[in-house]
Amino acid sequence: MKKLMNEADRFVPDVLEGFGAAHADLVQVHGDPWFVTRRDRASGKVGLVSGGGTGHEPLHVGFVGHGMLDAAVPGPVFTSPTPDAIVAASRAADGGRGVVHVVKNYTGDVLNFETAAELLEDEGIAVRTVLVDDDVAVQGSTFTAGRRGVAGVVPVEKIAGAAAERGDGLDEVVAVAERVVGQVRTMGVALAAATVPHVGRPGFDLAEGEVEIGVGIHGEPGRRRGPLEPADALTGHLVEPLLQDLALGGDDEVLLLVNGMGGTPLSELYVVYRGARRHLEDAGVRVARSSVGNLVTSLDMQGASVTTLRLDPELMALWDAPVRTPALRW
């Protein structure tokens, strides 16, 4: 294992301390339990909270700020945050109009956010949950019952965050977030596995010419292993299930998000973006908005995922709305 880190036990605190110091103008990092809040919290808006295991940075902590999350709760590496941390973050995010939890569909996350929601309701804080399950690769896997939540969580948080920021109520924020969940799909590929600090060796082995198609963001197995084909062919395997699952076709406009898994440089992500875009355009789909970068990573995994979100004028306007977070800013 070669990583820029201190002892494995200090990995999460070190990441969060560094993150908090680097972005002190935008966020505040709280310890014991760990959670992150935005500096310029607007009062009187619906609070938006998300969280999940560490190792997917900038997700979720990097999306805290104006126009996106009010708080994020990082757990240990690839492990759900505890209910008490979710409760503390949600209390901080509540401005009196309730809180929306954006939860990626993993058994541990679902359970802990559910427990936290019950505790919060007991305190009189209204909580609604939006479950993100955008991964078309598999219906069940190591960490999940049902589809996994992966990079599609980024447009969910961005668009729900913009809705909350403009003053939408609890039901309206949930409704727009669920519209995104219904229209967003993702498919990923790994070239090499991630290494969890405590484990010290890659989570799985791939041969030199081999890739895992449909991989999850914790290195969960995908649909199949196959040869490392040229990027244009490989992106075809990623785009095809998105076209089918969303029944995308003529006149559809999408956001195309090409996401790196952490160990893949931006140059390669642009090659993937080019290939994915051509496959979409060949199917008559118009790419109206784009995002390319390492947004939902899996530690140092080499690979990428392709996400499409079918847009309508409102979703497009909310995607375009100003955002000011450590990782997304416009």
56 carries an active-site annotation: yes
20: left (phi over 0), alpha (psi -120 to 50) or beta: alpha
DSSP state of 227: E
For residues 27-58, one letter each, b for 16 or more C-beta atoms within 10 angstroms of the residue's C-beta and e for the rest, the string is: bbbbeebbbbbbeebeeebbbbbbbbbbbbbb
Q: Rounded to the nearest whole angstrom, what is the least distance from the CB of residue 97 to its own copies in the complex?
A: 29
Question: Which of these segments, 36-44, 131-139, 140-148, 263-271, binds its own copies (CB under 8 A)?
Answer: 263-271
CA angle 285, 289, 293 (to 5 degrees): 115
Quick one: how many helices (H) and strands (E) in the chain?
A: 8, 14
Q: Per-residue string for binding with its own copies, 186-205, x by CB under 8 A?
A: ---x-xx-------------
| Residue 14 engages its own copies in binding (rule: CB under 8 A) | yes
Q: Rounded to the nearest whole angstrom, what is the least distance from the CB of residue 248 to its own copies in the complex?
A: 18
| Residue 244 engages its own copies in binding (rule: CB under 8 A) | no
Catalytic residue among 23, 56, 60, 101: 56
Catalytic residue among 101, 218, 237, 279: 218
Residue 53 forms beta bridges with which residues?
Answer: 75
Residue with Cβ nearer its own copies (99 or 292): 292
Q: What residues have CB less than 8 Å from 226, skipping those under 6 apart?
A: 210, 211, 213, 237
| Residue 97 engages its own copies in binding (rule: CB under 8 A) | no
> Which one-letter amino acid corresponds to residue 297?
T
Alpha helices (H) in the chain, listed in sequence order: 11-22, 83-93, 107-122, 153-165, 170-183, 231-246, 266-282, 313-320
| Residue 4 engages its own copies in binding (rule: CB under 8 A) | yes
Q: Are strands 140-141 and 184-192 parallel, antiparallel or unpaired?
A: unpaired
Q: What is the CA radius of gyration of the chain?
A: 19
Selected binder of its own copies within 37, 50, 54, 80 (CB under 8 A):
54
| Residue 286 engages its own copies in binding (rule: CB under 8 A) | no
Residue with Cβ nearer its own copies (269 or 315): 269
30 carries an active-site annotation: no
Distance CA 56, CA 53 (A): 7
Selected binder of its own copies within 46, 49, 99, 234 (CB under 8 A):
234
Residue with Cβ nearer its own copies (139 or 290): 290
Residue with Cβ nearer its own copies (84 or 232): 232
Cite the active site residues. Answer: 56, 218
Q: Site residues (CB under 8 A) for its own copies? A: 2-7, 11, 14-19, 21-23, 54-55, 57-58, 62, 189, 191-192, 208, 211, 228, 230-232, 234, 258, 262-275, 277, 287, 290-292, 294, 297, 299-300, 302-304, 329-330
